[in-house]
Amino acid sequence: MSEPPSRRARKRERTFRNLLDATAALIAEGGTADLRISDITARADVALGSFYNYFASKEEIVDAVARETLTALAASLAEGDAATADDDVAIAARAIRRFVELAREDELLARLLVNLSAGDAVFVSSVHPAARLAVERGVEHGRFTVGSVELSVVAITGGALALVRAIIDGRDVGREPGRELAERSLLALGVPADEAARVAARLRLGRPEPLLGLGAQALHLGDGVGLRRAGGGRRARGGGAAGCCAARRHAAGRATR
């Protein structure tokens, strides 16, 4: 049986969590353009110098927040909806549509993702494990037929990110890009055409709670990385799949030094 973490380790964990939660809340309230490390530490009630025991820069902690948020979302979508007894086909279609619709329903998170210096890598590393698990499960249950699970996962997740980017850029991708990508992805997974079209079209997702605390209608979005919100804001919810966060592993490694 492993020993419980020491008081020092628990304190470091709380500080790390407070920094992530404070950053998520500040992004929700004002975006990233004017975000300062001193703002983060003040919100987290942490000494300014202590920030660098956990993160090397503002960019690193913003990356960590985006990665953690996407990991938690991917894990929840991969589980499906027990109340409606979703099968593998419906789970895949819902997950694809939800990610694409981030571009319109949670524009702050979508813009943050596509403007990160390593946004593609963040998206793929965060979403890939849950996406691969969902495809493997569909193959095991006889719902999907694919030559290579990895190729299918890479193609679908890459397509979803490219479509989010196109929507954010204002390109004409049709009236229902999420539905169309879901249908095309199901076809690529070997789902019969009539079923793929029916499942992708019948899903009614509803408007989700913005993952970073704001909906697109409340934002004034400038060019590039400059994300700003007009007026006040409410605090974003913390939490998520912290164990999947690369920065958490980084901080845990430092704690042992």
Structure tokens at 217: 């209608």
pLDDT in tens, 180-202: 999 999 999 999 999 999 999 98
CA distances (Å), origin 96, targets 72, 79, 150, 157, 248: 15, 13, 16, 8, 27
Find the mean pLDDT for residues 203-221. 42
Report if residue 14 sits inside a domain: no
**What is the predicted pLDDT for the residue at 212?**
52
Residue 17 has pLDDT above 60, yes or no: yes
Report if residue 251 sits inside a domain: no
Report if residue 20 sits inside a domain: no
Residue-number span of the structural domain to which 240 is assigned = 59-244
Phi-psi domain of 204 (left: phi exceeds 0; alpha: psi -120 through 50; beta: other): beta
Report if residue 40 sits inside a domain: no
CATH number at residue 224: 1.10.357.10
Please tell me the total count of domains within the chain: 1
Residue 224 has pLDDT above 90, yes or no: no
Report if residue 211 sits inside a domain: yes
Report pTM: 0.64
From the number of C-beta atoms within 10 Å of its C-beta (0-12, 13-18, 19+), residue 253 rates as: exposed
Report if residue 66 sits inside a domain: yes
CA dihedral 238, 243, 249, 252 (to 10 degrees): 80
Residue 210 has pLDDT above 90, yes or no: no
Choose between 68 and 181: higher pLDDT: 181
Within 31-148, residue ranges assigned H as helices are 37-44, 58-79, 88-105, 107-115, 119-140
Report if residue 97 sits inside a domain: yes
Q: How many CB atoms lie within 10 A of CB 184?
A: 15
Report if residue 182 sits inside a domain: yes
**What is the predicted pLDDT for the residue at 217?**
27
